[in-house]
Structure 1
């Protein structure tokens, strides 16, 4: 696996929110992700229409809050039933999960990289997270992915140890 340290400027997203436990992921989270895909044409001002974002925050015991969103410009109005999330400028470690690989192994390898590196996962001040290793996970999915065997980029916000 290769790892790259990058900084992304702050950006605006719009989409749907899902919140639940790991045991509730199937089919609930997949349904929310599909709803955002089905409503993508309502977002006329997508910055990159070929990439859907999954922004996960481990704020729940045995679960997380997930935003299935697209990056949009400031001109984009918020469609009925959708929400807006602003992502601040952060530095990330970026890696790619490739089609045909085990997602769990991708994250295990990434966790090991973090452990061995000069970085640790970023935590927002005053926020209680339930994942001690990667409390914030951003995944960027190509819209043409195979939902049964996806490939996607992973971005973990980091700071120097």
Structure 2
């Protein structure tokens, strides 16, 4: 698995969010339901840039945090060129200018934890980086969550 460090400018996302842990997300299919809601209301999001979707995960910066048992925020939305009107029940989130470690997960989404474990574990230690409390995934035309040819670009904010 090849990871690299990139700098990204800030961007805006309009979509929907929820707060849960991974156990709840999996059992209740929260990400899938939120994506379906977003796609249903896509025409109500002004200034949308393309059809790619961002999954943004914001974690509490606490000692011993574990995403399977501790709750965190997930935002699923479309990138927009200008923050405009937000659909009812929606949210506007600005991802700040930052440095990220990035790689592409290849394979079923159910196995993405292996990619996260590598980046947050081995890669962070070897490269002496600290995560800054959020990451995001880019779901574009390669996103086929149940297929072996699925690809998801991951970006983890770091202090490099």
**TM tier, smaller:** 0.7 to 0.9
Once the two structures are superposed, the pairs formed by residues 57-96 of structure 1 within 5 Å of their partners are 57-59=58-60, 62-74=70-82, 76-96=84-104
Provide the rounded CA distance (Å) in 1 between the counterparts of 2:145 and 2:45.
Answer: 22
Q: Deviations over 1:99-149 (max 9, x none)?
A: 258312211221211110032212xxxxxxxxxxxx312111115621324
Give the aligned partner of residue 136 of structure 1: 134
2:33 to 17, 20, 31: 31
Residue correspondences, number: 147
1:110 is matched with 119
Tell whether the 8 Å contact from 2:12 to 2:83 is kept in structure 1 after alignment. Answer: no
Matched with 2:63 is none
Gaps of 5+ in 2: 61-66
Please tell me whether the aligned partners of residues 83 and 92 of structure 2 are also in contact (alpha carbons under 8 angstroms): no
Match of 2:107 in 1: 99
Aligned equivalents of 1:75, 1:57: Cα separation in 2 = 20
2:7·2:97 contact (CA, 8 Å) conserved in 1?
A: yes
Q: TM-score, normalised by structure 1?
A: 0.81
Identify which range, 31-40 or 100-109, moves more after superposition.
100-109
Structure 1, unaligned stretches of length 5 or more? 123-134
On the 8 A contact 1:52/1:143 being kept in 2, the answer is: no
CA RMSD, 1 decimal = 2.1
User: TM (normalized to structure 2)?
Assistant: 0.81
- The Cα of 1:25 is off from its aligned counterpart by 0.5
